[in-house]
Amino acid sequence: MTAKIIDGKAFAITVRAKVADHVARLKEEHNLTPGLAVILVGQDPASQVYVRNKHKATLEVGMNSFEYKLPIDVSEQELYALIDKLNEDPQVHGILCQFPVPEHLSETDIVARISPAKDVDGLHVINAGLLATGQRAMVSCTPLGCLMLLRDHYGSLSGKTAVVVGRSNLVGKPLAQLLLRDSCTVTIAHSRTKDIEAVCRAADIVIAAIGRPEMITSDWIKDGATVIDVGINRIAAPEKGAGKMKLVGDVDFASVSPKAGAITPVPGGVGPMTIACLLANTLTACSRANGLPEPVGLSA
């Protein structure tokens, strides 16, 4: 058996097209344009690339993009004054601060300062609490992307057994909550889980959000299981030439794909869904802020 490839890149294009369609209708029918504000502190090269990609993607779907580039030594007070201003601005429906930030700033406090309704990264404790209690929340983009891929693959997730490897606030925990909400039987595994291979081998769905290159091999996976690889790891690729690097996931694609029923590749799996879901969340936040119905199929 060779696994079906779950093509996140293609699916993300359909999500972006749906978002663009809704944005056009919001403009036409309500004279509203969703707006996303992105704050970047300092000049970290990787963060600059992420912010540029978000800016471009936001404009491509017809939304407003507001970029704020702050110096690396910006004070907490200045940063919070900007967040407070954006919280009040009716043109801004989503706010995110690109992490990591310099050490003198606290990521937890920054997230806490952002209005929960505009927290399109879904990191605010209010949103974590709403999600955990089955209420309407802003959901973190990567978990939302994984959920969309799984719903598309299965139709209904009800009754499936799922193991999420990783318990971060950004990915593992919210993803487990989402799967539980869709009536999966969920296990969260982590670095202290005993006999983790056997735990994963019992699951219909294994989701890897670990940050360890190619850690999950075929003996972790039962025949026909669905494998979602969230990991993004840059490793040396001597086969491409001296000093060359390549991206790999947390799953050993070569050994797992002949055994799994379906699998996301890296790159081209979960990664493209993350930005698509950021756009979907900004649209959702705009609809909610204006008392309009939420676009169907673009939120949890």
Catalytic residue positions? 54, 98, 121
Based on CB atoms, which residue is closest to ligand NDP, 151 or 167? 167
Per CB under 6 A, the segment of 60-68, 92-100, 116-124, 190-198 that binds ligand NDP is 190-198
246 binds ligand NDP (CB under 6 A): no
**CA 96 to CA 140: how far, in whole Å?**
11
217 binds ligand NDP (CB under 6 A): no
What is the per-residue DSSP string for 90-130?
Answer: TT--EEEEPSP--TTS-HHHHHHHS-GGGBTT--SHHHHHH
181 binds ligand NDP (CB under 6 A): no
267 binds ligand NDP (CB under 6 A): no
170 binds ligand NDP (CB under 6 A): yes
Identified binder of ligand NDP from the candidate list 43, 91, 106, 191, rule CB under 6 A = 191
Identified binder of ligand NDP from the candidate list 64, 211, 292, 294, rule CB under 6 A = 211
Q: By rule CB under 6 A, what count of residues binds ligand NDP?
A: 23
Query: Smallest distance, Å, CB 10 to ligand NDP?
Result: 16
Those residues with Cβ within 8 angstroms of residue 80's Cβ, 6 or more apart along the chain or in another chain: 113
| HEC string for 34-80 | CEEEEEEECCCHHHHHHHHHHHHHHHHCCCEEEEEEECCCCCHHHHH
Nearest to 137 by CA among 145, 146, 126: 126
Query: Smallest distance, Å, CB 272 to ligand NDP?
Result: 8
Q: In this structure, what token pair is assigned to residue 165? A: 């490897």
Helix axes 270-289, 141-154, angle to 10 degrees: 110
Per CB under 6 A, the segment of 102-110, 147-155, 229-237, 289-297 that binds ligand NDP is 229-237
Based on CB atoms, which residue is closest to ligand NDP, 138 or 171? 171
Q: In this structure, what token pair is assigned to residue 260? A: 């799994």
**CA 2 to CA 78: how far, in whole Å?**
54
- Note the residues at the interface with ligand NDP (CB under 6 A): 142, 165-168, 170-172, 190-192, 196, 209-212, 230-233, 270-271, 274
